[in-house]
């Protein structure tokens, strides 16, 4: 028997490619299981439908919780679970030193993470808290790395000349989503604390695709680099891998984890499940790539 604690207002949205709108508003008791039935037009078949739900305890305030689910109607090649919900992040960029192809792939990389209301919110919040314009610049250093300079409020992404982003979308996603992950963490203390509380790094160690040897000019070996950088780099890397793990072939062997060159991280969800599920539930609203 559910105990009535307060009244919770439920807003439920449905998007059917051809239609988006509020279809039901009702008030229910807390802890109630709420079920809604939707009728889909008979002309809609062989497609994926995304339902987005948000929950407000006070209709005059932003939602306390959001989620989304994908339903398959009829036959869809490869099923719906791997389908990415189309979305866009409304970001302004300040590019310097990057060619047009690199700029396009960076924009596509950001749009590719807009797969759920939660993801759009969390990326937009970090972007806004960092000043509302994202600077991405390239210097002349011939090293194949990128990094974040500064912290939330004035952070920017610096790409060294030895790293060409314009070779493919997935390699750009891997770099850009990782680097923006650092900005996201510095701009979102709640998310950062949730990551610490999850215990993922303590239980599962360094995210295995991270090239820790990039720090060997400062830290002499894997152990010291791990102690200094492992926890924070795993935060950024777990997000980049979440988006790219099925398709991005790592260009070099990861010296400190022996993750092989040329491999994708196809077993990420089972090999480092605490990391994978943290990203799934805390950043992407349950949507998987």
Q: By CB under 5 A, name the binding residues for Zn ion.
A: 233, 236
Nearer to Zn ion, 120 or 155 (CB): 155
Nearer to Zn ion, 116 or 245 (CB): 245
Q: How far apart are CA 41 and CA 64, in angstroms?
A: 31
3-state secondary structure of 37: coil
- Chain position whose Cβ is nearest to Zn ion: 236
Helix (H) or strand (E) holding 122: helix 117-129
**Helices and strands: H and E segment counts in the chain:** 8, 8
Nearer to Zn ion, 93 or 145 (CB): 145
Least distance to Zn ion, CB of residue 235, Å? 9
Least distance to Zn ion, CB of residue 184, Å? 12
3-state secondary structure of 49: strand
3-state secondary structure of 27: strand
Nearer to Zn ion, 129 or 232 (CB): 232
Least distance to Zn ion, CB of residue 216, Å? 15
Nearer to Zn ion, 215 or 276 (CB): 215
Nearer to Zn ion, 48 or 126 (CB): 126
Least distance to Zn ion, CB of residue 147, Å? 7
Cα–Cα separations (whole angstroms), residue 32 to 3, 4, 9, 10, 97: 9, 9, 11, 11, 55
Q: How far apart are CA 162 and CA 144, in angstroms?
A: 4
3-state secondary structure of 5: coil
Least distance to Zn ion, CB of residue 114, Å? 22
Tokens of 56: 């407000």
Least distance to Zn ion, CB of residue 236, Å? 4
Tokens of 8: 């919770």
Q: How far apart are CA 142 and CA 174, in angstroms?
A: 19
Nearer to Zn ion, 48 or 177 (CB): 177
Least distance to Zn ion, CB of residue 80, Å? 32
Compute the CA torsion angle 7, 8, 11, 12 (nearest 10 deg): -110
Residue 244 Ramachandran class (φ > 0 left, ψ -120 to 50 alpha, else beta): alpha
Helix (H) or strand (E) holding 22: strand 20-29
């Amino acid at each position: 028997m559910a105990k009535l604690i307060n009244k919770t207002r439920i807003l439920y949205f449905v998007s059917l490619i051809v239609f988006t709108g509020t279809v039901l508003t009702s008030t229910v008791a807390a802890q109630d299981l709420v079920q809604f039935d939707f009728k889909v037009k008979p002309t809609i078949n062989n497609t994926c439908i995304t339902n987005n739900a948000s929950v407000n305890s006070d209709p005059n305030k932003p939602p306390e919780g959001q989620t989304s689910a994908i339903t398959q109607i009829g036959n869809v090649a490869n099923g719906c679970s791997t389908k990415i919900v189309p979305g866009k992040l409304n970001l302004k960029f300040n590019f310097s030193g990057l060619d047009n192809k690199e700029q396009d792939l960076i924009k596509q990389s950001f749009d590719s993470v807009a797969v759920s209301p939660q993801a759009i919110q969390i990326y937009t919040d970090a972007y806004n808290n960092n000043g509302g314009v994202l600077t991405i610049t390239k210097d002349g250093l011939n090293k194949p790395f990128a990094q974040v300079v500064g912290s939330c409020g004035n952070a920017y992404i610096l790409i060294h000349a030895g790293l060409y982003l314009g070779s493919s979308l997935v390699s750009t996603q891997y770099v850009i989503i990782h680097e923006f992950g650092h900005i996201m963490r510095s701009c979102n203390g709640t998310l950062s604390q949730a990551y610490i509380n999850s215990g993922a790094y303590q239980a599962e160690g360094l995210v295995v695709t991270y090239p820790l040897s990039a720090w060997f000019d400062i830290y002499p070996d894997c152990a010291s680099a791990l102690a200094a950088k492992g926890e924070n780099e795993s935060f950024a890397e777990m997000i980049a891998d979440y988006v790219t793990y099925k398709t991005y072939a790592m260009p070099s062997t990861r010296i400190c984890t022996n993750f092989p060159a040329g491999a994708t991280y196809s077993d990420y969800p089972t090999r480092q499940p605490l990391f994978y599920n943290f990203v799934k539930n805390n950043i992407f609203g349950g949507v998987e790539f």
